[in-house]
């Protein structure tokens, strides 16, 4: 097999990268009707498998799980996930042959072996679904011509796919039909019904492509969503402790700080997050963010370039072949960091204090969201897709850190995302060494200071630059359709 994207002429590469149509809510008026009564078998009951299955069953669909025999025999966590939630569980041979749709929700590393095992069992004219484009695009997997191949990709960790659904909302979702596999022309209608079944239509659905999804997803997860939140967590915590802030307080400010400050982002963009600061603190956060953008831009561009060329995928697949040696080493090292090992203080921190004492964290979020958006759109990814993959998903990742720090984030995200997160973190921390030397507790751990007096012209200029960033423009438009979005903090 060869990287599918790299086999395309530039004309088609740009065409597939540019597939991105925001789908009006009225396009989902049929709801799940297209899949009602169909046998849907999910392979893999992990972060996405379990939570998508719960949502789809609650939406009225016939869901069961086909697990590998070892998982059933040893009653592994995936088996417990499925059976403890009352789902029918069987082997591939028992369930795949009668399935109308098979959802491959196993780890990306396993896709080629899983598809080779289940494809011969799939009935003529059935449908195969993915939630990430890696196997089709980066590995170039070929699927039997009679099988329809679709993608329904939540721009969200599996746990929050379920939590937002239970709140009566959903998560932004990219849907796609593989152009090489749509024999009956039914792929899009099936993908729409699947997205509605997960609740995605309540947050926003983009008609995308396998290429556009995989290239944007890899970039978002490696940079702003996981990589920079990991780097920012560790650097912010270490700086506070170095400067004498009580470690338990420092750990709590970071663990819950991302969720609190990005809740403001989720509802009102970078503008609203920055408006939660005093004028002097806002100007300082803006200054820090501009400096961070200048330092990190080459790294963001390198990650985008390596994703586009296939170099990232090649590097990660070399680790797959080496029994995930790097992934497991880096996962262990993350668990050994002082931030991860420090017990949080019991004293409460007010919602506003997370803003007042977290100016540096706000600068990290602003710089990372803007840089990821700018780098993706410069590389041909369309603004709506870049928004979902940067600004909107950051709070959803922050929710996982609030639960159990970086351990929880790296547990819930895919192994692919976790690997990319560590790659970024290892490169970014030394890049920010000189920047962090100048950081003091006035921007992380203690209040930036009282008073609100600033120079009018400077404030007007800063406010204009914040409000006029293109991510704010497309965000205001996309959030206007998120009428069921709920408060979390
Ligand atoms: N995690 C996330 O939030 C997101 C993930 N995705 C995509 O969703 C897909 C699933 O990822 P994710 O939910 O993180 O996966 P998880 O690692 O959480 O779960 C994988 C599941 O697959 C099973 N599994 C592992 N190896 C094999 C194998 N060789 N054969 C059969 N089953 C196997 C595991 O069960 P057991 O080991 O017990 O057999 C487990 O149930 C990926 O394509 C990912 O890129 C997309 C968006 C977000
Ligand atoms: C951010 C990581 C992710 O892409 C996701 C939750 O969307 C993943 O692969 O886990
Ligand atoms: Mg993602
Ligand atoms: Mg991903």
Neighbours of 86 (CB within 10 A): 8
Element (H, E) at 90: strand 88-90
20 is in an annotated binding site: no
Q: Which of 79, 100, 101, 80 is nearest to 91 (CA)?
A: 79
pLDDT tens-digit readout, 407-452: 999 999 999 999 999 999 999 999 999 999 999 999 999 999 888 8
What atom of ligand 2 comes closest to residue 414's alpha carbon?
10
Count CA atoms closer than 13 A to 385's CA, side-chain side.
Answer: 32
Rounded Cα distance between 472 and 169, Å, is 22
Q: Give me 424's structure tokens.
A: 């970024």
The number of the ligand nearest the C-alpha atom of 131 reads 1
β-sheet bridge partners, residue 207: 21, 175
Ligand 1 centre distance from Cα of residue 50 (Å): 10
What atom of ligand 1 comes closest to residue 70's alpha carbon?
39
Report phi then psi at 444, rounded to 5.
-150, 110
Every domain of the chain with CATH number 1.10.1040.10 lies at: 216-481
Q: Is the pLDDT confidence value at 383 over 90?
A: yes
Does ligand 2 lie within 6 Å of residue 156's CB atom?
A: yes
- Residue of 221, 398, 424 best suited for mutating to test ligand 2, as the one with most atoms within 8 Å of CB: 221
Rounded Cα distance between 348 and 122, Å, is 54
Does ligand 2 lie within 6 Å of residue 222's CB atom?
A: no
**201 three-state secondary structure:** helix
β-sheet bridge partners, residue 21: 207
Whether the CB-CB separation of 256 and 354 falls below 8 Å is answered with yes
Q: Which of 132, 178, 201, 469 is catalytic?
A: 132
H-state helical runs in 124-174: 134-137, 158-166
Whether the CB-CB separation of 334 and 340 falls below 8 Å is answered with yes
pLDDT tens-digit readout, 325-366: 999 999 999 999 999 999 999 999 999 999 999 999 999 999
Which pLDDT value is given to residue 450?
84
Ligand 1 centre distance from Cα of residue 100 (Å): 21
Q: Which of 255, 265, 243 is nearest to 394 (CA)?
A: 265
pLDDT band at 489 (very low <50, low <70, confident <90, very high): confident
Whether the CB-CB separation of 229 and 336 falls below 8 Å is answered with no
Whether the CB-CB separation of 126 and 102 falls below 8 Å is answered with yes
- More confident: 243 or 450: 243
Which pLDDT value is given to residue 77?
97
Whether the CB-CB separation of 182 and 160 falls below 8 Å is answered with no
Ligand 4 centre distance from Cα of residue 282 (Å): 32
**333 three-state secondary structure:** helix
Averaged over 41-58, what is the pLDDT? 98
Averaged over 147-169, what is the pLDDT? 96
Whether the CB-CB separation of 284 and 359 falls below 8 Å is answered with yes
Q: Is the pLDDT confidence value at 76 over 90?
A: yes
- Examine the predicted complex and report whether its ipTM is higher than 0.95: yes
Query: Atom 25 in ligand 1: which residue has the minimum CA distance?
Result: 106
pLDDT tens-digit readout, 356-377: 999 999 999 999 999 999 999 9
Ligand 4 centre distance from Cα of residue 414 (Å): 6
Q: Is the pLDDT confidence value at 68 over 90?
A: yes
Q: What is the DSSP string of 349-416?
A: --HHHHHHT-HHHHHHHHHHHHHHHHHHHHTT--HHHHHIIIIIHHHHHHHHHHHHHHHHHHHHS-HH
Q: What's the DSSP call for residue 486?
A: -
Averaged over 172-191, what is the pLDDT? 97
Does ligand 2 lie within 6 Å of residue 414's CB atom?
A: yes
Averaged over 447-469, what is the pLDDT? 95
Supply angle C-alpha 280, 285, 287, rounded to 5: 95
Rounded Cα distance between 265 and 176, Å, is 28
- Residue of 229, 417, 422 best suited for mutating to test ligand 2, as the one with most atoms within 8 Å of CB: 417
Query: Atom 6 in ligand 2: which residue has the minimum CA distance?
Result: 157
Question: Euclidean distance between the first and final Cα of the chain, in Å?
Answer: 47
Average pLDDT of the chain is 97
Averaged over 155-176, what is the pLDDT? 96
Ligand 1 centre distance from Cα of residue 108 (Å): 7
Whether the CB-CB separation of 23 and 385 falls below 8 Å is answered with no
Which pLDDT value is given to residue 1?
84
- Residue of 105, 213, 313 best suited for mutating to test ligand 1, as the one with most atoms within 8 Å of CB: 105
Averaged over 369-387, what is the pLDDT? 98
pLDDT band at 483 (very low <50, low <70, confident <90, very high): confident
Query: Atom 2 in ligand 2: which residue has the minimum CA distance?
Result: 221
Count CA atoms closer than 13 A to 425's CA, side-chain side.
Answer: 25
pTM of the model: 0.97
Query: Atom 24 in ligand 1: which residue has the minimum CA distance?
Result: 106
CA dihedral 63, 69, 73, 76 (to 10 degrees): -60
**150 three-state secondary structure:** strand
- Say whether 132 is catalytic: yes
Superfamily of domain 20-208: NAD(P)-binding Rossmann-like Domain (3.40.50.720)
Q: Which of 164, 158, 155 is nearest to 384 (CA)?
A: 155
Task: Report percent pLDDT > 70 for the chain.
Answer: 100
Every domain of the chain with CATH number 3.40.50.720 lies at: 20-208
**CATH (one of 1.10.1040.10, 1.10.3720.10, 2.40.30.110, 1.10.10.10) for 216-481:** 1.10.1040.10
393 is in an annotated binding site: yes
Whether the CB-CB separation of 228 and 329 falls below 8 Å is answered with no
pLDDT tens-digit readout, 399-414: 999 999 999 999 999 9
pLDDT tens-digit readout, 186-236: 999 999 999 999 999 999 999 999 999 999 999 999 999 999 999 999 999
């Amino acid at each position: 097999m060869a990287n599918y994207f790299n086999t395309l002429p530039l004309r088609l590469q740009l065409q597939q990268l540019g597939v991105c149509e925001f789908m009006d809510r009225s396009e989902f008026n049929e709801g799940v009707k297209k899949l009602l009564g169909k046998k849907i078998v999910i392979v893999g009951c992990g972060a996405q498998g379990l939570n998508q299955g719960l949502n789809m069953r609650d939406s009225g669909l016939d869901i069961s799980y086909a697990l590998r025999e070892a998982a059933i025999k040893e009653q592994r966590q995936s088996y417990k996930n499925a059976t403890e939630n009352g789902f029918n569980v069987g082997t591939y041979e028992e369930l795949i042959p009668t399935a109308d749709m098979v959802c491959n929700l196993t780890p990306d590393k396993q896709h080629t072996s899983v598809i080779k095992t289940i494809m011969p069992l799939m009935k003529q004219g059935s449908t195969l679904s993915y939630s990430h484009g890696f196997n089709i695009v980066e590995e170039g997997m070929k699927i039997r011509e009679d099988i329809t191949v679709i993608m329904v990709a939540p721009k969200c960790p599996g746990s929050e796919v379920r939590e937002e659904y239970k709140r009566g909302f959903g998560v932004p979702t990219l849907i796609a039909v593989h152009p090489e596999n749509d024999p009956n022309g039914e792929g899009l209608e099936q993908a729409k019904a699947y997205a509605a079944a997960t609740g995605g239509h309540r947050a926003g659905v983009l008609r995308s492509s396998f290429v556009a999804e995989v290239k944007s997803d890899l970039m978002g997860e490696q940079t702003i969503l996981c990589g920079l939140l990991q780097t920012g967590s560790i650097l912010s915590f270490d700086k506070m402790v170095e400067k004498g802030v009580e470690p338990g307080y420092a750990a709590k400010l970071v663990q819950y700080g991302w969720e609190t400050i990005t809740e403001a982002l989720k509802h009102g963009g970078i503008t609203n997050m920055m408006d939660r600061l005093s004028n002097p603190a806002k100007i300082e956060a803006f200054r820090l963010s501009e400096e961070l953008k200048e330092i990190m831009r080459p790294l963001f561009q390198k990650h985008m370039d390596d994703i586009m060329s296939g170099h990232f995928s090649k590097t990660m697949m070399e680790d797959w072949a080496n029994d995930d040696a790097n992934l497991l080493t880096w996962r262990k090292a993350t668990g050994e960091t002082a931030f991860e090992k420090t017990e949080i203080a019991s004293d409460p921190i007010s919602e506003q204090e997370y803003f007042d004492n977290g100016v540096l964290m706000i600068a990290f979020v602003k710089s990372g969201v803007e840089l990821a958006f700018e780098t993706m759109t410069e590389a041909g990814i369309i603004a709506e897709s870049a928004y979902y993959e940067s600004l909107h998903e950051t709070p959803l990742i922050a929710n996982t850190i609030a639960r159990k720090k970086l351990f929880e984030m790296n547990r819930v995200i895919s192994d692919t995302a976790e690997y990319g997160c560590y790659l970024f973190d290892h490169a970014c921390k030394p890049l920010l060494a000189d920047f962090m030397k100048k950081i003091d507790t006035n921007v992380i751990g203690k209040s930036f200071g009282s008073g609100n007096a600033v120079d009018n012209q400077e404030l007007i200029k800063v406010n204009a630059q914040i409000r006029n960033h293109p991510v704010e423009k497309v965000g205001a438009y996309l959030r206007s359709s998120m009428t069921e979005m709920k408060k979390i903090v």
